[in-house]
Amino acid sequence: MVASYEIEIKGLKELTMRLEAAVKDDVIRKALSKGTVLLAQWSIKNRFATINPNRKQVLSDKLTARTAGGYRDRIFGQSPSEITKSGDAYIAKFGTNITNRGFSYPRLHEYGGIFHRPRPVLTPSIENTQNRQQVIDILVSDINKALEKK
Q: What is the CA radius of gyration of the chain?
A: 18
pTM of the model: 0.81
The answer to whether 135 and 35 are in contact (CB under 8 A) is yes
DSSP string, 47-111: SB--S-TTS----SSSB-TT-GGGGGGG-B---GGG-EEETTEEEEEEE----BTTB-HHHHHHH
Q: Which range, 34-43, 64-73, 92-101, 106-115, is most confident?
A: 34-43
pLDDT of residue 46: 84
**What phi and psi values does residue 2 have, to the nearest 5 degrees?**
-120, 130
Which helix H or strand E contains 16, and what residues bound it?
A: helix 12-16
Given a cut of 60, whether residue 69 has pLDDT beyond it is no
- pLDDT tens-digit series, residues 5-28: 666 666 677 777 777 877 888 998
Residue 142 falls in which region: left (phi positive, over 0), alpha (psi -120 to 50) or beta: alpha
119 — pLDDT class (breaks 50, 70, 90): confident
Closest of 6, 3, 137 to residue 76, by C-alpha: 3
- pLDDT tens-digit series, residues 77-101: 889 989 988 887 888 888 887 777 7
DSSP-based three-state secondary structure for 3: strand
Distance (Å, whole) CA 146 – CA 150 = 6
